[in-house]
Structure 1
Amino acid sequence: MSVDVPRPIDPSLHPLATGNYRIATPAIQAFYDLVIRCLHYRIMGALIYGPSRIGKTRAIEYVRLLLARNYPKMTSYHAQCEHKPRHAEGPFFANLLEAVGDPDPNAGSNPSKRMRLSLRIREAAARAGSGTVLLFCDEAQRYNENEYEWLRDVHDALDRQQIKLFTFLVGQQELLAQKTGLQIAGKTQIVARLMVDELSFYGIRDAEDVATCLDGYDRTAYPEGSDWSFTRFYVPRAFQAGYRLVSNAGVLWHAFESAHHRANLPGRLEIPMESFARAVEIVLKESELKDALQYTPDIALWAHAVHHCGYVQSRHATGRVLVAA
């Protein structure tokens, strides 16, 4: 049993215990590559769309962490688009003001909110030492044409102040339909500013994707800079003897496949990151008490983890079919 092995930190503070961590998937890497391509080619806006609960919000957070590490002078924001019965200018700008850290986002008239938004972004860009700002709008399919126009106004206002705002509209598949609708309606100014590039976001699609993600647990260290990977933290003796989660990639994929088919779920298997991460967390936490030099999580434990990770339940709840891109 590994609970008596000294750890570098209190186990209750570990990111896997708090849920405060992000593991890269091939889709997240594609998302990050899209962002870098847009920055490189000065493409000011792009769409990232996919089914609900597939991991897009987690992906935004991961991409922002990567950007902060690789481009520390760039400023990025994450705005959560709200469902509103009426699309009014005041709530729209209050929402963006909240995203950029304004202390009182609801205060003032609509024109003053607009001015304050530009001011807050300009101040942050000046502090960071770069005129490049990235805005990720989550659940962007909730925007309507007016809100896209107001967003375009924000771009123009910042552009006049030598600040380049790159907008990434992240949401469900309706986003693509909105783009098509705007093109048909001749609203090319919105499309040309906010919707130039696009990416279909997806879950974990095969055993190779599973291996990529499990490798993240085997390699990601906490505390940072230490040699305590997530896997080692939970099964230090097995890890010392050479065990790595990635060696069970095929087993975990098969466990999800079996659950998918047993539940008669439609469409091809595509694992949301939330369900995947919960399954891995269950295995690591259960394994901690069984850790030994020759220990390997058995097939039954992986199946148990998949059963309790919420994959089947969430698919039944949403009733959605995942369509291959």
Structure 2
Amino acid sequence: MNSTTSTIDDASRLDLRKQALCDAEMRQAHYLSHPVVTDSLHLATEPVKEVFEVVQHLIIHRFPGSPFIGAFRMGKTHTIQILCDELRRIFPKLAIGTLIAKKHDKPTEKAFWGDALDDYEHGASLYGTAPERRRRFMSMIVSAVLSVKGDQYVFFVDEGQCWTLSEWVWMRDLTNDLKRRGIRTTTIVFAHEELNVLRDMLISTGRTDLIGRFFHTPYVFRGLRNESELQSMMQCLDDPSKHEHPCGSGICMSEFFLPAAYCAGWRLATEAPHLWAAFGQVAARQGRIAKDIGMQWVMSSIRAWLFIVANYDSADFKSPPDSWVEAIGASTYQASLQ
């Protein structure tokens, strides 16, 4: 039975490979849904692994929470998705959810709970008074914990710098009420450096209730800092066991775009020195040094480069001169340094 299954699997895999690499019509369909093209690829980079170790520690020891603070375009939203997926795998009795902090000119509790319900795709996010919406959201959290037979809930808050003192007080009250119901919470905040302004204000005014609950120990959420980290990340795109498309085809991210080059031994990871040097060259135009490069800029550059060089695919493929600089230009990285 196992031998037959293996043969069928191999046949299916070969069929998928032919579709994705040789059949023009099917290749176009797979191209349009490709994770690189749709910007839906989640990579566990070194910075992401560092964050995971901290988050895992906070959860195991049931700390109330801490913020991760980094510049824009560091890949915070994608990191949250990776963390959620991995935590659910490791901790099956852990309930998890993500709130996306919204900025309002005049924050109201009604809008706050409406936003929270909407983040959880609740159909009644626009209906009811503030207390009704709050009870609705509370019920969702309690149900989620009961459904996994646990006693702990992890909130991820994305764009945490958007909330004012009022929103954090409402969040504090929610976690207090959950605790009274036997549910311990951990709140992991991802935010831009603007969050430091709020944290400093809370410290200066003695708001230890909020500092201890959400902002006790800030951690830096960084980008890629050297060529070695960049190369390690790019190696993931060369490995079908980590990322493949179409699913079950055994075609890694780089092979899909440059199949002849890949078959002849070329790997995207060998381009890391060229990409890192190109980032340095572009940064120098602004009198800056390339450091802490966010995943938005890295993946946008790789995506643009793959689009540029796809027509150059061959067994003796070599990266065209200045193609990486051109690709970085398409990512708007230089504009972010101004």
TM-score (norm 1): 0.88
Aligned to 1:301: 323
The superposition leaves residues 112-134 of structure 1 with CA deviations (integer Å, 9 ceiling, x where unpaired) of 22211110111122233333322
Residue 242 (str. 1) matches residue 259 (str. 2): no
The superposition leaves residues 159-184 of structure 1 with CA deviations (integer Å, 9 ceiling, x where unpaired) of 12222221112111132332232123
Q: Secondary structure at the match of 1:197?
A: coil
> Structure 1 unaligned runs (5+)?
317-325
Q: Secondary structure at the match of 2:322?
A: helix
Q: How much does 1:229 deviate?
A: 0.9
Residue 213 (str. 1) matches residue 213 (str. 2): no
2:62–2:185 contact (8 Å) kept in structure 1 = no
1:102–1:120 contact (8 Å) kept in structure 2 = no
Give the alignment partner of residue 141 of structure 2, picking from 114, 121, 136.
Answer: 121
Q: Percent identity?
A: 23
Aligned to 2:6: none
AA aligned opposite 1:169 = V
Give the alignment partner of residue 97 of structure 1, picking from 81, 99, 117.
Answer: 117
Q: For residues 75 and 302 of structure 1, what CA distance do their matches in structure 2 show?
A: 42
1:283–1:301 contact (8 Å) kept in structure 2 = yes
CA 223–37 in structure 1, closer or farther in 2 if over 3 Å, else same = farther
The superposition leaves residues 22-71 of structure 1 with CA deviations (integer Å, 9 ceiling, x where unpaired) of 22322222222221111111112111111223322222222223323433
Q: How much does 1:265 deviate?
A: 4.2
Residue 286 (str. 1) matches residue 308 (str. 2): yes
Larger radius of gyration: 2
CA 267–300 in structure 1, closer or farther in 2 if over 3 Å, else same = closer
Aligned to 2:36: 16
TM-score (norm 2): 0.85
Residue 28 (str. 1) matches residue 48 (str. 2): yes
Q: For residues 33 and 93 of structure 2, what CA distance do their matches in structure 1 show?
A: 29
Q: For residues 221 and 199 of structure 2, what CA distance do their matches in structure 1 show?
A: 16
Aligned to 1:319: none
Give the alignment partner of residue 334 of structure 2, picking from 289, 312, 322.
Answer: 312
Q: How much does 1:95 deviate?
A: 1.3
AA aligned opposite 1:201 = F
Q: For residues 71 and 265 of structure 1, what CA distance do their matches in structure 2 show?
A: 46
CA 207–148 in structure 1, closer or farther in 2 if over 3 Å, else same = same
2:65–2:213 contact (8 Å) kept in structure 1 = yes
How many residue pairs get aligned? The number is: 314
CA 175–17 in structure 1, closer or farther in 2 if over 3 Å, else same = same
Q: Secondary structure at the match of 1:218?
A: coil
1:54–1:273 contact (8 Å) kept in structure 2 = yes
Q: For residues 71 and 314 of structure 1, what CA distance do their matches in structure 2 show?
A: 38
Q: For residues 78 and 305 of structure 1, what CA distance do their matches in structure 2 show?
A: 33
Residue 253 (str. 1) matches residue 297 (str. 2): no
Q: How much does 1:224 deviate?
A: 4.2
The superposition leaves residues 60-98 of structure 1 with CA deviations (integer Å, 9 ceiling, x where unpaired) of 222223323433443322222111111221111111122
1:43–1:196 contact (8 Å) kept in structure 2 = no
Aligned to 2:11: none
Q: For residues 66 and 22 of structure 2, what CA distance do their matches in structure 1 show?
A: 48
Q: Secondary structure at the match of 2:218?
A: strand
Give the alignment partner of residue 108 of structure 1, picking from 113, 128, 131.
Answer: 128
Residue 71 (str. 1) matches residue 94 (str. 2): no
Aligned to 1:81: 101
Q: For residues 4 and 100 of structure 1, what CA distance do their matches in structure 2 show?
A: 39
The superposition leaves residues 203-227 of structure 1 with CA deviations (integer Å, 9 ceiling, x where unpaired) of 2222112112211211222344542
